[in-house]
Amino acid sequence: DGGITQSPKYLFRKEGQNVTLSCEQNLNHDAMYWYRQDPGQGLRLIYYSQIVNDFQKGDIAEGYSVSREKKESFPLTVTSAQKNPTAFYLCASSILDRGPNQPQHFGDGTRLSIL
């Protein structure tokens, strides 16, 4: 089945540790996105990428880093500089070549907690 796969489902981070969240899609989508979700809030954009080897900061990029070495993959690293990393992280993707209005489709998320 085509879709977006996020792993792991649950992740724990120790103080001062970097952790990497995986996002893989087999939909042949061009654009990929990372969002953070906190209780009672909407989704906030961390980073996005329209094409391989290119990405841009979203609204809350501080303390996070990404890479886009392959079209299918867009891993997110939560660095030790992110002081409040506990949240639900969602990856999304969308088509670009049919115009700018294609909806984003989401993975099932990774819940990150601090030990």
Partner 1 sequence: GQQLNQSPQSMFIQEGEDVSMNCTSSSIFNTWLWYKQEPGEGPVLLIALYKAGELTSNGRLTAQFGITRKDSFLNISASIPSDVGIYFCAGRMNTGFQKLVFGTGTRLLVSP
The contact set with partner 1 (CB under 8 A) reads 4, 6, 31, 40-45, 48, 50, 58-60, 90, 92, 94, 96, 100-109, 111
Minimum CB distance to partner 1 smaller for 13 or for 105? 105
In degrees and rounded to multiples of 5, residue 98 shows phi and psi of -105, 20
Distance CA 65, CA 78 (A): 7
Q: Structure tokens of 6?
A: 């996020």
How far is the CA of 64 from the CAs of 21, 25, 36, 97, 101, in angstroms?
Answer: 11, 20, 11, 28, 27
Shortest Å distance, C-beta 5 to partner 1: 11
Minimum CB distance to partner 1 smaller for 41 or for 53? 41
Rg (CA), the chain: 13
Minimum CB distance to partner 1 smaller for 63 or for 80? 63
Minimum CB distance to partner 1 smaller for 76 or for 90? 90
Q: Which residues contact 14 (CB under 8 A, 6 or more apart)?
A: 114, 115
